[in-house]
Structure 1
């Protein structure tokens, strides 16, 4: 990664673990979060065309004129990262993107390129910290004793 970043903007919840690791590795002390969601009220098909809404986002003063590393776990369609980056740009920031996995076959933005990614895949991913999911991504029922 080129040069120092002024801040790291973690997209919750997927970006929390990789963002935390990057903060330590790059010695980034200014850590921000963006919380977004896709409406649960929409049908599965309608969700494919929906844009996320913000539940929480940093104040513009924290972004203006700053080089911001935007971190998430995976780029599937790309709507979440694109939405966050557009808002960073609207605040006067300069976003760069980083994810663990890039899925170009699922991308809704084939003309856009991520700045940093660890691997390209078209497979389903279950991260080690997703202890409540099986290999299909279905939530597991955890028995309480």
Structure 2
């Protein structure tokens, strides 16, 4: 359930696929990219779609946990860093590497990855205002108080009309 102070933005599989393909289209001219680094877990799905669209075969992950209870962003924990072979590509600072995530929210996770690969191209499907300066390319901006419900987090359930959730 979304707290009253937040807006809900449910995203279907079809919409997410379209948005991830739009991301690939936007970053196509920014390459060529030798590798993709996806930020898990949210970056796994868009990275797969972008990798297919841009024909990138070398895919790595960096595992950073920040949402420990699905509602509140907590302390960031790097569970798995980026392989040294990926860091060594190009000029050794991320040039030629594409970093992909589903969302940039506050920018805290993106900042950690930027420290690891300062010259990588950072792309997200969705961006919120606080985190937007940390990414080079995104598809859709949503307000900071919007909670995005990704398709892998949802099941098929009834959604009450918007009017019912508005305080009057």
Same fold (TM over 0.5): yes
Partners of 2:110 and 2:134 within 8 A in 1: no
Can you give the 5+ residue segments of structure 1 that lack an aligned partner in the other structure? 136-145
Aligned counterpart, 1:130: 153
In the alignment, the residues of structure 2 paired with residue 78 and residue 67 of structure 1 have an alpha-carbon distance, to the nearest angstrom, of 22
Higher helix content, 1 or 2: 2
Aligned counterpart, 1:70: 99
Q: How does 1:23-62 map to 2 (within 5 A)?
A: 23-38=51-66, 47=74, 50=75, 52-62=76-86
User: Do structure 1's residue 121 and structure 2's residue 142 form an aligned pair?
Assistant: yes
User: Do structure 1's residue 79 and structure 2's residue 79 form an aligned pair?
Assistant: no
CA shift for structure 1 position 87? 1.1
After the TM superposition, which segments of 4 or more aligned residues of structure 1 sit over 3 Å from their partners?
132-135
In the alignment, the residues of structure 2 paired with residue 96 and residue 72 of structure 1 have an alpha-carbon distance, to the nearest angstrom, of 11
Report the secondary structure of 2:149's partner residue. Answer: coil
CA shift for structure 1 position 39? 8.4
Partners of 1:100 and 1:117 within 8 A in 2: yes
Give the number of aligned pairs. Answer: 121
Question: Whose RCO is larger (CA < 8 A, sep 6+)?
Answer: 2
Once the two structures are superposed, residues 65-86 of structure 1 have per-residue CA deviations (whole angstroms, 9 ceiling, x without a partner) of 2411111111110111110121
CA shift for structure 1 position 113? 4.5
In the alignment, the residues of structure 1 paired with residue 126 and residue 151 of structure 2 have an alpha-carbon distance, to the nearest angstrom, of 14
Aligned counterpart, 1:10: 38
Per the normalisation by structure 1, the TM-score is 0.72
RMSD over equivalenced CA pairs, Å: 2.5
In the alignment, the residues of structure 2 paired with residue 5 and residue 39 of structure 1 have an alpha-carbon distance, to the nearest angstrom, of 29
User: Do structure 1's residue 88 and structure 2's residue 88 form an aligned pair?
Assistant: no
In the alignment, the residues of structure 2 paired with residue 129 and residue 38 of structure 1 have an alpha-carbon distance, to the nearest angstrom, of 18
In the alignment, the residues of structure 2 paired with residue 83 and residue 53 of structure 1 have an alpha-carbon distance, to the nearest angstrom, of 10
CA shift for structure 1 position 58? 2.2
